Amino acid sequence: MDSIFDIIIIGGGINGAGIARDAAGRKIKVCLIEKNNIGSATSSWSTKLIHGGLRYLENFEFKLVRESLKEREIIKFIAQDIVRPLPFIIPHLPSQRSKWIIKIGLFLYDRLGGKSSFPKSKKINIQKIIPNILKSNFKEGFQYYDLQVDDKKLVELNINDAKKKGALIIENQKIIEVKREKNYWIIKLSNQKILKSKILINATGPWINNVLKDIIKIKSKKEIRLVKGSHIITKKLYDQNYAFTLQNEDNRVVFVIPFKQEYSLIGTTEIEVHSPENPKIEQSEIIYLINTINKFFKKQIKNDDILDTYSGVRPLIEDYKEASKVTRDYIFDLNINNSFAPLLNIYGGKLTTYRKLSESVLNYLKPYLNKKILYPWTHKEKL
């Protein structure tokens, strides 16, 4: 039987990868187990943005936006090879959010994160700056900046760093049995390998409660809501290096983002689903995204213009609001009593805040690791 790990992480998405990197860099003996390939699910199904979450301000989530904006700055520094700042344009129509609400939102967005290397937002004349893209009735708008990222590469870089610093990364292996003892967990894999760990972290995203119930055999204390976000990819709708934040009548936003030089990435939708398995775009989502584009853009699109689609399922912490108002923040659920080894379940979270979440996990677990934990370091060392 192998020697005992300090931490075993279940789940090889961005949160699991970030925790593994941070822990390994602090000389903590860590192992990560992923049933498929690293970064093959939710963490590679995003809108490819590191952003503060401008629309979260409408739900008064100032703490989340502030943390996200600070992380945007850090990720721009530590992952500079796979990110690029991108100007976003919000076209304005009087029937949508009023100008003063957008101005206040952007004023806060520019300042909540503290000192920033991103240009400040501003009001613009759309037809002057980017003529012949949007319909002629869209004359005024606002410009702000966020960060585009290769999300799957971000996971892989964290995993590669974790490996270099001594983490054991196990891919394409399912956990078939988990036993909880007083001082450690015993984990049996599908290849019959047996591992032991002082602490177990459940970082399985939308599968979190399934893993708790079916593998760890513990009843969940928290409910999640599974929300599917779908994207379509077309040949590029315009040549300029701008992205668009399109406001819909239902108060949701759709992004249009330059993608891999030749394409436009359009998304996302928000549809509640009951399972995280094999998410696929529905025709109603395709119609929603096409109609959004055709409302704003001179160049009209139809079904035949769609080259590819992808969908991802996000686990949102259930608070019985409509999907667009459910928080994107994260919470930790520590399952512990004096008779058993600790279990930490990670609920929620978003791509942008993965590094801060990872740092918070290790600070949170410090009392249970029975060893000196080195200081936080991931904010200053490049991937």
Each residue's pLDDT tens digit, 111-146: 999 999 999 999 999 999 999 999 999 999 999 999
Residue 318 — pLDDT band, cuts 50, 70, 90? confident
Residue 164 lies in a domain: yes
Q: What range defines the domain where residue 279 resides?
A: 86-148+224-319
20 and 117, same domain (yes or no): no
230 and 108, same domain (yes or no): yes
Indicate whether 328 pLDDT > 50.
Answer: yes
The set of residues, in sequence order, having a beta carbon less than 8 Å from that of 114 and lying 6+ positions away, is 69, 70
Q: Which residue has the higher pLDDT, 33 or 221?
A: 33
Residue 196 — pLDDT band, cuts 50, 70, 90? very high
247 and 198, same domain (yes or no): no
Crossing angle (nearest 10°) for helices 62-78 and 99-111: 50
258 and 247, same domain (yes or no): yes
Residue 77 lies in a domain: no
119 and 234, same domain (yes or no): yes
Q: What angle do CA 30, 33, 39 make, to 5 degrees?
A: 110
pLDDT of residue 281: 97
Q: What is the CA radius of gyration of the chain?
A: 22
Indicate whether 49 pLDDT > 60.
Answer: yes
Residue 189 lies in a domain: yes
Within 10 Å of residue 267's Cβ, how many Cβ atoms?
25
pLDDT of residue 43: 82
Within 10 Å of residue 220's Cβ, how many Cβ atoms?
18
233 and 103, same domain (yes or no): yes
245 and 198, same domain (yes or no): no
Residue 308 lies in a domain: yes
State pLDDT tens for residues 236-289. Answer: 999 999 999 999 888 889 999 999 999 999 999 999 999 999 999 999 999 999
pLDDT of residue 41: 80
Query: And the tokens for 134?
Result: 């949007």
Residue 94 lies in a domain: yes
Overall number of domains in the chain: 2
129 and 110, same domain (yes or no): yes
**Using CB atoms within 10 A of its CB, is residue 33 exposed (0-12), middle (13-18) or buried (19+)?**
buried
Instruction: Please give the average per-residue pLDDT across 293-322, as a whole number.
Output: 89
DSSP class of residue 36?
Answer: S
Give the chain's mean pLDDT: 93
pLDDT of residue 1: 44
Compute CA 163 distance to the chain's CA centroid, rounded to the nearest angstrom: 22
State pLDDT tens for residues 139-186. Answer: 999 999 999 999 999 999 999 999 999 999 999 999 999 999 999 999
Indicate whether 2 pLDDT > 60.
Answer: no
95 and 189, same domain (yes or no): no
Tell me the CATH number at 194: 3.50.50.60
Indicate whether 353 pLDDT > 90.
Answer: yes
229 and 217, same domain (yes or no): no
State pLDDT tens for residues 212-227. Answer: 999 999 988 888 999 9
